[in-house]
């Protein structure tokens, strides 16, 4: 029986197991869901990989208090390369339950897809690993290491700190970071570029307290109006980000993101124009972009006829490879202070920063992965950027500078990760499991 047939034969079990895992509400925030749910998910993952020969599989407590599943499985050939398999078992909260068309923590078949929180991000990738290894049976020709973390979605850095503190434990020649995905269903891809980020909260103060808008409006400065003017200065009329000192002209030289596909993937309303003077790929993966995440100000319902004395906004600046977070942070802060009108008082709190990532793609692992995706999907592997940030990739790069880091997985735009109605196409789980199994065989052969 060939690998493809073995994977397909294992898919009914994969669905059953994914249903079990999705039913565990493993949101790594005890304010929203019991911590025991993450403990159950971690134990579930540990048990399944222990059955597959990871005899030393265990839960390791990381500095943020979460547990990572860590283990190893040696092969018979001492000089075989080592591959680290990564995923995470924690998930985003479901957000608005009423917006879900199916129960968020119940795997549901609908229109050929499997719906539920975590089906794609990232429990589907855990099942991808299990499927790949089961299809190979005892014939896994590389040394394997495993890490499945439990707080990735919270961004608290538990595993990042753990890697730095235990550098020998996860050392590998190739690292499969399975937390991204393909360009579209049936279109295989690896992610070679990630944007970094700078998150800040900017606060504007103008008055000691609210004052009557009729008695004082027109001469007294309005903190909310000042904040709006500052935020408006961050984009030009075409929608280009205009933070002084940041290059907004770079071009993306990899796979392009077709504009019409992007419109559908992003859910643009009819008649809206795309932002910026570059291609979609340029705007997403090669240039900085700033997003207003939230504003603190009086709500419409309940607001008074008074001048707002204080207002704040939370901003997210995404930065492409080649731009250091500290440089971007300094540019953003200077821009905001220069744009502040009327002498209003401005304070800026930095919430978080993260470095961008650019993979090195000329090694044997990338060659083996491209060949494996070609065989599994019958079409060439694309190389994509991603606007999101995965700080762990930079930690892996710094800790294991000779390792090839490959970002891949079962996600694709229709998966709606982080949103209500998250889903996965089961064909992506089977095809990516086949890809991984083929990769382990090919990569072992290139290293002989």
Name the helix (H) or strand (E) containing 198: strand 196-205
* DSSP secondary structure, 240-307, as one string: -B--TTS-------S----HHHHHHHHTPPTTPPPPSSS-HHIIIIIS-EEEEEEEES--STT--SEE
Cα–Cα nearest to 226, from 311, 300, 303: 311
SS3 (DSSP) at 384 = strand
Q: Is the entire prediction scored with pTM above 0.85?
A: yes
Answer yes or no: 90 catalytic: yes
* Residues 367-375, mean pLDDT to the nearest whole number: 98
Dist. CA 175–CA 54, nearest whole Å: 17
Average pLDDT, the chain: 96
Dist. CA 203–CA 311, nearest whole Å: 6
Cα–Cα nearest to 125, from 101, 91, 151, 157: 91
User: What is the structure's pLDDT at 68?
Assistant: 98
From the candidates 152, 412, 425, 428, give the one annotated as an active-site residue: 152
> Which positions ≥6 away from 280 have C-beta within 8 Å?
256, 257, 258, 259, 262, 274
CB 443 within 8 A of CB 138: no
SS3 (DSSP) at 113 = strand
Instruction: Report how far Cα 84 is from the mean position of its chain's Cα atoms.
Output: 19
Name the helix (H) or strand (E) containing 215: helix 213-216
CB 226 within 8 A of CB 343: no
Q: What is the DSSP letter of 345?
A: E
Residue 346 has pLDDT above 80, yes or no: yes
Q: What is the DSSP letter of 411?
A: B
From the candidates 37, 60, 90, 149, give the one annotated as an active-site residue: 90
User: What is the structure's pLDDT at 448?
Assistant: 62
SS3 (DSSP) at 189 = strand
Task: Report percent pLDDT > 70 for the chain.
Answer: 100
CA-to-CA separations, 335 to 200, 225, 247, 311, in angstroms, rounded: 13, 17, 14, 18
Give the alpha-carbon dihedral of 262, 267, 271, 276, to 10 degrees.
-50
Dist. CA 165–CA 105, nearest whole Å: 34
Check: CATH 2.60.120.1570 for 196-247+288-354? no
Give pLDDT tens digits for 166-206: 999 999 999 999 999 999 999 999 999 999 999 999 999 99
Give pLDDT tens digits for 138-162: 999 999 999 999 999 988 899 999 9
Dist. CA 384–CA 388, nearest whole Å: 12
Domain ranges of the chain: 3-194+356-446, 196-247+288-354
Dist. CA 243–CA 409, nearest whole Å: 33
Residue 283 has pLDDT above 90, yes or no: yes
Compute and round to an integer the Cα radius of gyration of the chain: 24
Cα–Cα nearest to 200, from 5, 332, 305, 100: 332
Confidence of residue 69 (pLDDT cuts 50, 70, 90): very high
Dist. CA 441–CA 80, nearest whole Å: 11
Give the largest Cα separation in the chain, rounded. 84
Dist. CA 282–CA 35, nearest whole Å: 41
CATH code for the part of the protein at 3-194+356-446:
3.40.630.10
Answer yes or no: 149 catalytic: no
For residues 354 and 57, the model is more confident at 57
Name the helix (H) or strand (E) containing 39: helix 35-51
């Amino acid at each position: 029986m060939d690998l493809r047939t073995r994977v397909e034969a294992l898919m009914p079990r994969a669905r059953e197991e994914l249903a079990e895992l999705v039913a565990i509400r493993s949101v790594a925030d005890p304010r929203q869901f019991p911590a025991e749910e993450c403990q159950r998910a971690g134990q579930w993952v540990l048990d399944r990989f222990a059955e597959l020969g990871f005899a030393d599989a265990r839960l390791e407590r990381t500095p943020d208090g979460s547990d990572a599943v860590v283990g190893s499985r040696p092969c018979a050939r001492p000089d075989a390369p080592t591959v680290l398999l990564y995923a995470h078992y924690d998930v985003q909260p479901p957000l608005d339950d009423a917006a879900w068309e199916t129960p968020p923590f119940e795997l549901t078949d609908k229109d050929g897809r499997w719906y539920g929180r975590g089906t794609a991000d990232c429990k589907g990738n855990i099942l991808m690993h299990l499927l790949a290894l089961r299809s190979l049976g005892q014939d896994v020709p590389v040394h394997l290491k495993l890490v499945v973390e439990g707080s990735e979605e919270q961004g608290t850095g538990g595993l990042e700190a753990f890697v730095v503190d235990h550098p020998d434990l996860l050392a590998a020649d190739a690292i499969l970071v399975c937390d991204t995905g393909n360009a579209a269903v049936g279109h295989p891809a690896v992610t070679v570029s990630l944007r970094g980020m700078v998150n800040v909260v900017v606060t504007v103060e103008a008055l000691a307290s609210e004052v009557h808008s009729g008695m004082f409006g027109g001469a007294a400065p309005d903190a909310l109006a000042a904040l709006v003017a500052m935020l408006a200065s961050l984009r030009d009329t075409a929608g280009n980000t205009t933070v002084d000192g940041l290059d907004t002209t770079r071009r993306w030289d990899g796979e392009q993101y077709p504009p019409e596909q992007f419109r559908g993937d992003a859910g643009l309303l009819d008649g809206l124009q795309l932002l910026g003077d570059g291609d979609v790929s340029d705007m997403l993966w090669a240039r900085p972009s700033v997003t207003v995440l939230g504003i603190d100000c009086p709500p419409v319902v309940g607001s008074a006829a008074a001048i707002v004395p204080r207002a704040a906004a939370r901003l997210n600046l995404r930065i492409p490879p080649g731009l250091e977070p500290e440089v971007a942070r300094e540019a953003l802060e200077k821009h905001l202070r220069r744009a502040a009108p009327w002498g209003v008082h401005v304070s800026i709190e930095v919430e978080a920063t993260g470095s961008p990532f650019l993979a090195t793609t000329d090694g044997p692992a990338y060659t083996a992965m491209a060949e494996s995706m070609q065989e599994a999907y019958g079409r060439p592997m694309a190389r994509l950027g991603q606007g999101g940030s995965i700080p762990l990739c930079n930690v892996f790069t710094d800790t294991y500078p000779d390792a090839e880091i490959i970002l891949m997985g079962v996600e694709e735009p229709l998966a709606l990760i982080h949103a209500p109605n998250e889903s996965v196409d089961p064909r992506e789980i089977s095809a990516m499991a086949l890809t991984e199994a083929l990769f382990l065989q090919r990569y072992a052969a290139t290293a002989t």
